[in-house]
Structures are given as C-alpha cells and as structure tokens.
Amino acid sequence: MQSIVQIGAGFAQGAIRIPIAIVRCEAEWIGIKSVVFLVHVVRTQVFIVARLMVAVLCFGQFS
C-alpha cells in the first residue's frame, strides 16, 4: 500500500515538473520567435521604405 502512495507521490511530482518544463521551453521558443518576428517586421518596413524612396526618386525624375 505504501509503495502505491510513493509511486503516486512521485508521479504527482513528475506531473507537476513536466508542465513547468514545457512552459519554460515554450517561453524560450516564444522569445526566440518574437525576436525573429521583430527582425522580420523591421526588415519588411525597411524594404517598404526603400522601395517608396526609389519610387519617389524615379517619379521625381520622370515628372
């Protein structure tokens, strides 16, 4: 009977530890993904601004 209680207690501790590890892993992954996303957004905005500047320069030459 006691061994079942010990197994149950060990399982409960393991069951608590696993979600904490998953959350920690997800937090790191979300952190990495958010940095990658921010870099992507910044690059996209720089690209859009650069294209607008080129378009304005070309339009300025033709007008």
- pLDDT for 49: 92
Which residues in 16-48 are b (16+ Cβ under 10 Å) and which e? eeeeeeeeeeeeeeeeeeeeeeeeeeeeeeeee
The alpha helices in 1-63, defined as continuous H runs, are: 2-62
pLDDT tens over the chain, length 63 residues: 678 778 778 877 877 787 788 888 888 888 888 888 989 989 999 999 999 999 888 888 776
Does this model's pTM top 0.85?
A: no
The CA distance from 16 to 9, in Å, is 11
What does the block give as tokens for 52? 């607008």
Q: How big is the chain by its Cα radius of gyration, in Å?
A: 27
